[in-house]
């Protein structure tokens, strides 16, 4: 029987918890056949969800007498700010203690990182087939420079924002809470949407518009401006109605994509992400066609005296199915190389 050391990976959002194992000695460290997903609402804590996953994996491997998998370390990427030993999931009640979670699982080591640090660390591992260009120019991953700066932004249950600095081949992820900066409207219609959302929320952050619940907020605001009551909808209801030709829902997606483009361009200017910005999160694959045929790229480039510069910067939708776990695996390679 062979003993195989593995690192437990987790990508924790406001809705889903995804787990996998990493082999830090392998050329492709993320073990795709080990990926499992659960609803965070089904567990009282991250430690409970992780223990449930480990039990499932152990039960499956019990039938294989040829190997013995040992898991003593972990890398957990969480959708919230990591402050020392503690992290709070922004859109879920979990409060995570690194030390208590490590002890509950009996681990020797545990890294707790922001989910967009993991998303950023995935970027060097992405190939041409893992991304789709939104507009031009194209991206050539085989010609990545040794000195570059990327942005990464993604709408899911909330809006994550981060970046990756690469200097002499060394990677430095940037953890931010950029989704909570203030929303700046760019058209008269967006000003009207802001007025509606301000009446409901007071201060309006970008995340109030650019995420799953944000799409619903935009749709409701447009309906209220028109004197209509849309009822209680989910994001999938808005996209389904748009596909069936509903004008208000289609308009909501247009506004969503345009604001998303403007915000993404602002990230490039703020971070100096001149080498490209990557779009990730649960909504991007679902809205890929809309993003490609919307005002996203026009609003991304529309930055006054920097418009010509912005026109040369690629915007790339990540279509890899598990970029958060891929990035967590990259962190595991650095943290637990042996």
Domain identity same for 283 and 186: yes
CATH number at residue 81: 3.30.420.40
Domain identity same for 298 and 221: yes
Task: Residue 82: count other Cβ atoms within 10 Å of its Cβ.
Answer: 20
CA-based nearest residue to 79, from 276, 268, 211? 211
Extract the annotated binding site for ATP.
10-15
Domain identity same for 29 and 51: yes
The rounded distance, in Å, linking the Cα atoms of 174 and 156 is 19
Give per-residue pLDDT as tens, 289-336. Answer: 999 999 999 999 999 999 999 999 999 999 999 999 999 999 999 999
Contact in structure between 256 and 219 (CB atoms under 8 Å)? no
In tens digits, the chain (338 residues) has pLDDT values of 345 889 999 999 888 999 999 999 999 999 999 999 999 999 999 999 999 999 999 888 766 655 678 999 999 999 888 998 999 887 788 889 999 999 999 999 999 999 999 999 999 999 889 999 999 877 777 677 789 999 999 999 899 999 999 999 899 999 888 999 999 999 999 999 999 999 999 999 999 999 999 999 999 999 999 999 999 999 999 999 999 999 999 999 999 999 999 999 999 999 999 999 999 999 999 999 999 999 999 999 999 999 999 999 999 999 999 999 999 999 999 999 87
Find tokens 């971070």 and name the residue.
271
CATH number at residue 216: 3.40.367.20
Domain identity same for 290 and 229: yes
Extract the annotated binding site.
10-15
Query: How confident is the model at residue 61, as a pLDDT?
Result: 72
Domain identity same for 148 and 221: yes
- List, in sequence order, every residue forming a beta bridge with 31; answer none if it has no partner: 21
Q: How many domains does the chain have?
A: 2
Domain identity same for 168 and 114: no
Query: How confident is the model at residue 175, as a pLDDT?
Result: 86
Q: Domain of residue 182: give its range.
A: 127-319
Domain identity same for 280 and 312: yes
Query: How confident is the model at residue 58, as a pLDDT?
Result: 87
Domain identity same for 149 and 256: yes
Query: How confident is the model at residue 1, as a pLDDT?
Result: 39
Domain identity same for 110 and 135: no
Domain identity same for 138 and 217: yes
Domain identity same for 172 and 38: no
CA-based nearest residue to 94, from 16, 160, 35, 211? 16
The number of CA neighbours under 13 Å toward the Cβ of 86 is: 4
CA-based nearest residue to 114, from 134, 96, 132? 96
Domain identity same for 54 and 196: no
């Amino acid at each position: 029987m062979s003993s195989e050391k593995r690192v437990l990976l987790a990508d924790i959002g406001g809705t889903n918890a995804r787990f996998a194992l990493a082999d830090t000695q392998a050329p492709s460290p993320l073990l795709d056949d080990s990926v499992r997903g659960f609803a965070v609402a089904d567990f009282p804590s991250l430690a409970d969800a992780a223990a449930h996953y480990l039990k499932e994996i152990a039960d499956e491997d019990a039938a294989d007498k040829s190997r013995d998998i040992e898991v003593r370390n972990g890398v957990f990427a969480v959708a919230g700010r990591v402050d020392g030993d503690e992290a709070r999931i922004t859109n879920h009640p979990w409060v995570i203690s690194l030390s208590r979670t490590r002890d509950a699982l009996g681990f020797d080591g545990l890294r707790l990182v922001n989910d967009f640090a993991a998303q950023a660390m995935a970027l060097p591992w992405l190939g041409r087939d893992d991304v789709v260009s939104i507009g031009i120019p194209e991206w050539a991953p085989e010609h990545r420079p040794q000195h570059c700066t990327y942005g990464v932004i993604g709408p899911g249950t909330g809006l994550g924002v981060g970046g990756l600095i690469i200097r002499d081949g060394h990677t430095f992820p940037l953890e931010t809470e950029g989704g909570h900066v203030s929303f700046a409207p760019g058209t008269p219609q967006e000003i009207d949407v802001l007025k509606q959302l301000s009446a409901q929320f007071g201060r309006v952050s970008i995340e109030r518009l650019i995420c799953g619940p944000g799409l619903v907020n935009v749709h409701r605001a447009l309906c209220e401006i028109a004197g209509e009551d849309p009822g209680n909808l989910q994001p999938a209801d808005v996209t389904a109605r748009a596909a069936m030709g509903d004008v208000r829902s289609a308009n909501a997606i247009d506004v969503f994509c345009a604001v998303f483009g403007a915000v993404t361009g602002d990230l490039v200017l703020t971070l100096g992400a001149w080498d490209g910005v990557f779009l990730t999160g649960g909504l991007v694959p679902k809205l890929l066609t809309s993003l490609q045929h919307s005002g996203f790229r026009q609003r991304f480039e529309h930055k006054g005296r920097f418009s010509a510069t912005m026109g040369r910067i690629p915007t790339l939708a990540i279509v890899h199915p598990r970029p958060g776990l891929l990035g967590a695996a990259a962190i595991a390679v650095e943290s637990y190389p042996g």
